[in-house]
Amino acid sequence: MLEDKISALLEQKFHCSQIMMKVGMEALELEEPNLVKAMSGLAGGLGGCGHNCGALTGGVCMLSLFAGRGTPEEEADPDLAVMVSELLAWFEERYGSPDCGDIIQGDRDNIPRTCPQLIRDCARKALEILNSYGFSTTGLE
């Protein structure tokens, strides 16, 4: 199910960060095109400059969608920072760097060979982290 969803979003030309948010929003049964639009600023390593990977920053935003604070009355989940740290540690161990430019070795031609699987792996890991902290992502595993 998750693999198919991500493949469909890739075919629709959504960026890595947008895909991560759309996966999280689907788990919460949300539809917010403006949020998806805003996520494009994280694609390609912070707006295409090659810095922090959009799948990673999108994954952090996905975790925050579930565990962050959205209203003055609401409190962020106290485990949010730990969840983010877990995702970052996993990502750096797996890919050697949090930076898009490093991951694709400075060659945009490597994106089609590298990024689709990276997005799938990152989405699975973010969902695993959410589930381990008690957030339901039923139907996306």
Per-residue pLDDT tens digits for 7-42 = 999 999 999 999 999 999 999 999 999 999 999 999
Structure tokens that stand for 47 in this block: 């707006």
pLDDT at 51: 87
Q: What is the mean pLDDT of residues 118-127?
A: 96
Q: Quote the longest CA-to-CA distance of the chain.
A: 46
The listed range with the strongest mean pLDDT (26-30, 41-45, 126-130) is: 126-130
Name the pTM for this structure.
Answer: 0.92
Percentage of the chain exceeding pLDDT 90: 77
Question: Could you tell me the pLDDT band of residue 140, with boundaries at 50, 70 and 90?
Answer: low
Tell me which of 87-96, 118-127, 129-138 is least confident: 129-138
**Pairwise CA distance, residues 20 & 132, whole Å:** 18
Q: CB neighbours of 52 closer than 8 A, spacing ≥ 6?
A: 42, 45, 46, 98, 99, 100
**Pairwise CA distance, residues 133 & 55, whole Å:** 21
Q: What is the mean pLDDT of residues 65-75?
A: 96
3-class secondary structure, 48 = coil
pLDDT at 135: 94
**Pairwise CA distance, residues 94 & 31, whole Å:** 31
Helix 54-67 × helix 80-95 angle, to 10°: 160
